[in-house]
Amino acid sequence: MKLWSKDKESLTAVTDFTTGLDNLLDLQLAPFDVMGSLAHITMLETIGLLTRAELEMLSRELKVIYNEIKAGKFAIEPGVEDVHSQVELLLTRKLGEVGKKIHSGRSRNDQVLVDIKLYLRHEIEQLTLSIHQVFELLIAQSEKHKDKLLPGYTHLQLAMPSSFGLWFGAYAESLADDLITVHAAYQVVNKNPLGSAAGYGSSFPLNRTLTTHLLGFDDLHYNVVYAQMGRGKTERILAQSMSMVAATLGKLAMDCTLFLNQNFAFISFPDELTTGSSIMPHKKNPDVFELVRAKCNSLQALPNELTLITTNLPSGYHRDLQLLKDKLFPAIQTLKDCLRMTHLMISAIHVNDNLLQDEKYKYLFSVEEVNKLVLSGIPFRDAYKKVGLEIEQGKFTHSTNLNHTHEGSLGNLMNDKIKNTFEQVMGRFGFARVHDALGKLIK
């Protein structure tokens, strides 16, 4: 069954090629397709395209389908093109002609648009909750290990003293900034395209404001042509925000891989979280972090992949857009997996103590000694030359006592401010309002 079927069936090869992975990916859209249909038929009844009795029949059966989806009992049957066709087929089998009325006033174009918007909104919430978990863990580890010093590097050369408090906190603040971009993507996602039909609206007096309210969207895409143009753009914006999170996780994974190396030996992990070698019994390989690093590098290419799929497309719908799902949907799961594994690893990390007592790290304190001279009244350039000469002559001495007090430094991590920034962004999403709207729709 195809919603666009007329008199002839497409050749099987054409059908298979144009359908692609849709049957598999559409299963992820199924609950959202039902929600979109429930909002749509509620609106149709208010403008006289459905009777009250028809609305009640359709609503009842749609909720049955929704519960089957949640129970894992829903499938797209062989020969049925997509989730939209399957839902309409089930309704028509049960309700006859009434089932066919569900498509009045919309096209498959805006149907898939609203399904994707609802799906992406749901997935952004899941991603945000996962980011929050990793963020909270990083803040907790920063506080726990704030007094443990760590070598700081520039150009991968020893530079200045750092701390595990600074290191963990840096990645927490990075996620706080990343969340700002995720929220920006959410604002674009959380707009209603339903009612744009094939991209040029409808002669029916559709109430798009009503469906916007019923589905918990913040607003609607006002211009029906732009509602269709938004497909591809929405996905790219989300992919950009995902790439920001991936970049943070990838850099953290690289640090952990490096710091676990025996020549650094800053951190360690339980044996069960590392892997061994088939011939070298001493090996403890950071495979999890290596795979997080690789997967996150791949995720950073996602915005470009989506851009190239949609580059130079004119306005209106094009089948090219179908391929966006193939790229984006699995990528969302990959990022969730990377967040989950990062949380697991960082929760089990062991931080080694007294690292900077090692003689090889003594020059990390050269700037501290320069600053002490400056504080005693010596001009900075003269102090710099004096300490530099002592290093060259092998006469350099230092103290490991540090007194860093300014905002964001070793002795003043500002984690409370970082956490407050993160929580402010979290509060802007308004997930509870969405849950309330959808709960009323599906109850």
Q: Tens digit of pLDDT for each residue in 250-266?
A: 999 999 999 999 999 99
The domain segmentation of the chain, as residue ranges, is: 12-103, 108-202+222-357+408-442, 359-392
- pLDDT at position 281 is 72
According to the model, what pLDDT value does residue 78 have? Answer: 86
Question: What is the pLDDT, as a whole number, of residue 283?
Answer: 77
What is the DSSP track for 132-150? Answer: HHHHHHHHHHHHHTTTSEE
Q: pLDDT tens for residues 208-232?
A: 999 999 999 999 999 999 999 999 9
For residues 202 and 210, give the distance between their C-alpha atoms in angstroms, rounded to a whole number: 16
pTM of the complete model: 0.92
What's the pLDDT tens digit per position in 264-294? 999 999 999 988 767 787 778 899 999 999 9
- Mean pLDDT score, 73-77: 92
Average pLDDT over residues 115-141: 98
Nearest to 315 by CA among 203, 196, 209: 196
Angle in degrees, CA 54, 56, 62, rounded to 5: 100
Can you list the positions of beta strands (E) in 259-351?
267-268, 350-351
- Asked if the model's pLDDT at residue 2 lies above 60, the reply is no
DSSP state of 272: G
Q: How far is CA 324 from the centre of its chain?
A: 16
CATH number, domain 108-202+222-357+408-442, options 1.20.1440.230, 1.20.200.10, 3.50.50.60, 1.10.3660.10: 1.20.200.10
- Measured between alpha carbons, how far is 351 from 271 in angstroms, rounded to an integer? 15
Q: Is 406 exposed, middle or buried (0-12, 13-18, 19+ CB in 10 A)?
A: exposed
d(CA 112, CA 1): 17
Residue-wise pLDDT tens digits, 136-149: 999 999 999 999 99
Mean pLDDT of 85-97: 94
Cβ density class 94-107: b for 16+ within 10 Å, e for less: ebeebbebbbebbb
pLDDT band for 43, please (50, 70, 90 cuts): very high
pLDDT classification of 204: cutoffs 50, 70, 90: very high
Q: The domain 12-103 is classified under which CATH number: 3.40.50.10090, 3.40.50.300, 1.10.275.10, 3.40.190.10?
A: 1.10.275.10
Section 379-392 average pLDDT:
95
Q: Mean pLDDT for the chain?
A: 93
pLDDT band at 112 (very low <50, low <70, confident <90, very high): very high
pLDDT at 54: 97
